[in-house]
Structure 1
Amino acid sequence: MAFTSIGVFEGGAVTTVEIQRPPNNFFDITLIEEIATAFEAADADPGVRALLLVAQGKAFCAGADFSRRDVGDQRPGRHLYKEALRLFRTRKPIIAAVQGPAIGGGLGLACMADFRITCPEGRFSANFTRLGFHPGFGLTATLPRLVGPQQAALLFYTGRRINGEEAVRLGLADQLVPQAELRQAAAALATEIAQSSPLGLLATRETLRRGLADAVEQATERELVEQDWLRKTADFQEGVRASAERRLPDFQGR
C-alpha cells in the first residue's frame, strides 16, 4: 500500500510509524487505515518485535478537523471506528511518543498504545463535552483502564487539558523527558522491549490486553450512537464554533 499520511521506517526489531500531517496531524479514516495497515504488516514480520508511533509537527494528533464537511457524515464515522479497532487487534507492543497535543480522538489514538512517552509540552485532553459531543475512539474503555474510573470521569466531564507532568502523575503517560530527547527515549524503550523473548512477549501482552479489543468494540458502538444524535444538536455547532474562536461555548441544552 502506498501511504499518503504516514511514513514507515524499519530499524531492525523496531519499526517506526510516523504521522505526517503537520502541524496538527488531524485524523480521518485514511490516516487510521494507513496506521492499521502498517501495524498489521509489522505483525506479519517475525523480525519486528516492537512498534514506535511518532508524529511530525507541533501536535501528536489534535483530533478531528471539524472544519471539514465530511466529519459529520455518519458512514465515515462507522468506518473510522472499524479501522480504529484494527489497531487494538494488532499483537506487538506499541510505544507512542507524544510531543504536543493529543486531543479528542488523538488522545484515543495515544491511549491505544501500550506506553506513552511525553514531555512538558505534551497536552492531553478528552475535550468532547466542551464541544457538545460524546467521547469516541474507544476512550470510554481505554481511559478508565489507564487512570481509573474517577479520574477518567473528571477528564471527560470537564474536558480539561493537562500537561505532560500531570499526565505522568495520573498514569496517562509513563515517562517524562525533555522534548528534544523524546524520540530517543521512546526508541530506547522500544529497543529494550524488543530484547525480550518474542514468544514470551507476545504471550504476555495477549494475557494483559485480553478482552481489550472486544471492550473497545463494544464501547465504540455505544459512542457512535451517542455521537450521531449529538452531532445534530445546536450545542454541537456552538461547541465547534467556540473551539475555533478560542472562547467558552454558550451551551443552551438543545
Structure 2
Amino acid sequence: MTSTDLHVSTAGHVATIEIRRPPLNFFDLDLIRRIADELDRIDADDNCRAVVLCADGKAFCAGANFNTSAQEATKDSKRRNSGELYVEAVRIFRNKKPIVAAVHGAAIGGGFGLAMSADFRVTCPEARFAANFTRLGFHPGFGLTVTLPEVVGQTNAALMFYTSRRVTGEDAFKMGLASVLVSQDQVRAAALKLASEIAENAPLALVSTRATMRAGLADRVKAATDHELDEQSWLRETADFKEGVKATAERRVPNFAGR
C-alpha cells in the first residue's frame, strides 16, 4: 500500500509503516486513522508477525498540526475533532501484533504519544522526546498520562510533563524509554532487526503473550484520553494556550499570564 504520506511494505514476516510528511511529519485525524486501518489489516494477515513504525524526514513525528483552520472552528467542533482523533488512537493500542518504533529524530507531543503506542523504541543520540504540552498551555494527550508512567515511572513522567523538557536519545535509553540506542543512520536497520527477531517466534504464542503483557492497556488509554480531552477542551480556550502556540511558532519563550 502506498500513498503520498503513508507507505506500507512487507519483508519476510515484518511489516513496515512509514510516515511520509517530511520534514516534521505532523499528524492529523486522517493519518492516525490510516495507521490504525493498516494495523487492522496487518492483524488479519497471518504472514505478518511484527511491525516497524518509522518516518521519513528530520523528525519521527513533531505532533499534531495546529496550523489548520482551527481559528474558525467552534469550541464544539474542536472537541469533536479531538475526540475522533483519540478514538483512532485507541484503535492503534488495540492492535494484536508487536510494534517497534524507529525514532530517528524528534518525537514531540502527540508524536511522542504515537511512539509510546509501540512496544519498543529504537533511537539514537540525536533523537529528542518531549511531552511539551505545558509549554503550549495544554494538557498531555494521546494517552501519555498512562503510557509514559508505565514505562519510565511516575516521577520521570511527571518531570517530563511539568518541565516540557526535551529528553535526548541517550537519556531516553538510560531511563528505559528506549530499548535500543544506535547511531542515527542505523535506527531503521536496528528496528527491523529487533522486529525480525520477534517475528522468528511462534506467531500464536507471540500474540497470546503480548495480549497478556498489554492486558487492559487500550482500555486504560481510552479512559485516559476521555479525561485528557476534557482537560484539553477548556485549556484550548485559554489565553495561555494561544500564547503557547504562538510562542512556539515564533521560537521564543512564552509569556504566560495564568488565564
**Normalised TM-score (structure 2):** 0.96
Q: Which of the numbers 191, 206, 212 marks the counterpart of 1:207?
A: 212
**1: CA distance, partners of 2:5 / 2:79:** 22
**2: CA distance, partners of 1:132 / 1:70:** 16
Q: Which of the numbers 92, 96, 109 marks the counterpart of 1:91?
A: 96
Letter in 1 for 2:133: F
Q: What residue in structure 2 maps to residue 180 of structure 1?
A: 185
**2: CA distance, partners of 1:61 / 1:194:** 26
Unaligned runs of 5+ in 1: none
Q: Which of the numbers 107, 116, 122 marks the counterpart of 2:127?
A: 122
**Contact 1:6 1:20 survives alignment (8 Å):** yes
Q: What residue in structure 2 maps to residue 45 of structure 1?
A: 45
**Contact 1:126 1:135 survives alignment (8 Å):** yes
Tell me the percent identity.
Answer: 59
Q: What residue in structure 1 maps to residue 54 of structure 2?
A: 54
**2: CA distance, partners of 1:246 / 1:207:** 44
Unaligned runs of 5+ in 2: none
What are the residue-to-residue correspondences of 1:94-109 with 2, within 5 Å? 94-109=99-114
Q: Which of the numbers 141, 146, 155 marks the counterpart of 2:146?
A: 141
Letter in 1 for 2:108: I
The CA deviation at 1:66 is: 1.7
Root-mean-square deviation (Å): 1.2
**Contact 1:3 1:34 survives alignment (8 Å):** no
Q: Which consecutive segments of 4 or more residues in structure 1 shift more than 2 A?
A: 1-5, 69-72
The CA deviation at 1:5 is: 2.5
| Count of residue pairs the alignment pairs up | 254
**2: CA distance, partners of 1:117 / 1:42:** 21
**2: CA distance, partners of 1:130 / 1:207:** 36
- Write the deviation string for residues 60-84 of structure 1: whole angstroms up to 9, x where unpaired: 0000122222387221101000000
**Normalised TM-score (structure 1):** 0.98
What are the residue-to-residue correspondences of 1:1-254 with 2, within 5 Å? 3-70=3-70, 73-254=78-259
The SS at the match of 2:17 is strand
**Contact 2:13 2:49 survives alignment (8 Å):** yes
The SS at the match of 1:210 is coil
Letter in 2 for 1:250: N
The SS at the match of 1:21 is coil
- Write the deviation string for residues 161-186 of structure 1: whole angstroms up to 9, x where unpaired: 01100000111111110011111110
